[in-house]
């Protein structure tokens, strides 16, 4: 496996491949298991992740996997570490290192992501466990008086400090500033999202510069520019693609190794279509791909339902979604391909 930050980052955004976000906390995955009647135990969580990591798409459409602390330490049923399963598929193991978004003091309704305390030591331990990239997510909500400079500034500084610590440890940072689409106001249309996304991206890259972070050795994981879920004024896929490409070209330096979008509450098909349309626009200075969690896993989880006899069907569902997004990462996805597989 390549060890230079630039080489690892390039591997993470390899053509036609994207990143599987399998870093759900135990609490989050328990909620998802509860929704389909699966009891969440360390063993059932291991079995689910092992099923995904042994799927065929791991070799053809997945460049890296973001893991949770529990998962990076687990072994498959045959004793192989899950990290080694990922490596064997040709993908890069990664790790979520933040400790979650907490209430931002004196800034009602806003969050700041915590987890910097002890991060240098944790990164060294994760490196020894095989992680070669990490993820830190900041969440920016939109409301009548949000976001504020306090929230934007606090999260941008935390992302920059995290990214610098990662690079010091020989680990590629995924920098993830997410403007949420489930804000409380109906006025959260696509232009409001554009403005908030522009503000956070410009601030983040200023802080990354101050922190001496090498842009060639990082991957950006942004939201797409989409209307809020409560907005009566929705947007066409073409408008989402155009405004997303525009804000990225205005805010993201060309030196960044690549962009891997989060799905951010979009439907599976919408996240795929938007990604493909963005790539069809062309003229982008960086590779543009996906880093999806639920949008890659939801169909597979439902097909699996915790039963060993459903593993093959679940892997087919995962392979299909991964293949659709692989095509989208090169601008070659078409709606009829979804229908053929249905």
Any catalytic annotation for residue 307?
no
Separation of alpha carbons 331 and 315, rounded Å: 24
Separation of alpha carbons 194 and 200, rounded Å: 10
For 304, other C-beta atoms within 10 Å of its C-beta total: 25
Separation of alpha carbons 204 and 165, rounded Å: 15
Q: Is 239 exposed, middle or buried (0-12, 13-18, 19+ CB in 10 A)?
A: middle
- Out of 176, 178, 207, 273, the active site residue is 176
What stretches of the chain adopt beta strand conformation (E)? Answer: 18-22, 62-67, 92-96, 101-103, 111-113, 133-140, 172-179, 219-220, 258-261, 288-292
Any catalytic annotation for residue 221?
yes
* Tokens, residue 48: 């689910």
* Among 8, 3, 18, 9, CA closest to 63: 18
Cis peptide before 147 (omega within 30 of 0): yes
* Tokens, residue 317: 């569902």
Where do the H-state alpha helices sit in the chain? 5-12, 26-35, 42-53, 57-60, 69-72, 82-88, 119-128, 149-168, 190-210, 237-251, 268-281, 294-304, 311-328, 335-341
- Out of 96, 135, 221, 243, the active site residue is 221
Q: Which residues are catalytic?
A: 176, 221
């Amino acid at each position: 496996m390549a060890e230079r930050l630039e080489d690892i980052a390039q591997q993470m955004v390899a053509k036609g491949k994207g990143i599987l976000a399998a870093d759900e906390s135990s609490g989050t995955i328990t909620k998802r298991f509860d929704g389909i009647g699966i009891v969440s135990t360390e063993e059932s969580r291991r079995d689910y992740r092992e099923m995904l990591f042994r799927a065929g798409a791991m070799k053809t459409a997945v460049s890296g996997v973001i893991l949770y602390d529990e998962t990076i330490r687990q072994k498959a049923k045959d004793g192989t570490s899950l990290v080694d399963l990922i490596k064997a598929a040709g993908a890069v193991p990664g790790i979520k290192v933040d400790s979650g978004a907490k209430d931002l003091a004196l800034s009602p309704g806003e969050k700041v992501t915590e987890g910097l305390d002890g991060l240098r030591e944790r990164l060294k331990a994760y490196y020894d466990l095989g992680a070669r990239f990490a993820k830190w997510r900041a969440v920016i909500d939109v409301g009548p008086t949000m976001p504020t400079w306090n929230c934007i500034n606090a999260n941008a500084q935390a992302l920059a400090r995290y990214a610098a610590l990662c690079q010091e440890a020989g680990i590629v940072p995924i920098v993830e500033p997410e403007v949420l689409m489930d804000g409380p106001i109906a006025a959260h249309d696509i232009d409001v999202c554009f403005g908030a996304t522009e503000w956070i991206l410009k601030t983040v890259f200023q802080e990354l510069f101050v922190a001496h972070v090498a842009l060639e050795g990082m991957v950006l994981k942004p939201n797409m520019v989409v209307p809020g879920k409560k907005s009566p004024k929705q947007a066409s896929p073409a408008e989402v693609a155009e405004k997303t490409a525009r804000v990225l070209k205005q805010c993201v330096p060309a030196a960044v190794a690549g962009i891997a979008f989060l799905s951010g509450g979009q439907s599976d098909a919408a996240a795929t279509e938007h990604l493909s349309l963005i790539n069809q626009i062309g003229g982008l200075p960086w590779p543009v791909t996906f880093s999806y969690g639920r949008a890659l896993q939801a169909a597979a989880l439902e097909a699996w339902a915790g039963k060993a006899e459903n593993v093959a069907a679940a892997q087919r569902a995962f392979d299909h979604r991964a293949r659709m997004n692989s095509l989208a990462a090169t601008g070659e996805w078409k709606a009829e391909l979804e229908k053929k597989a249905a």
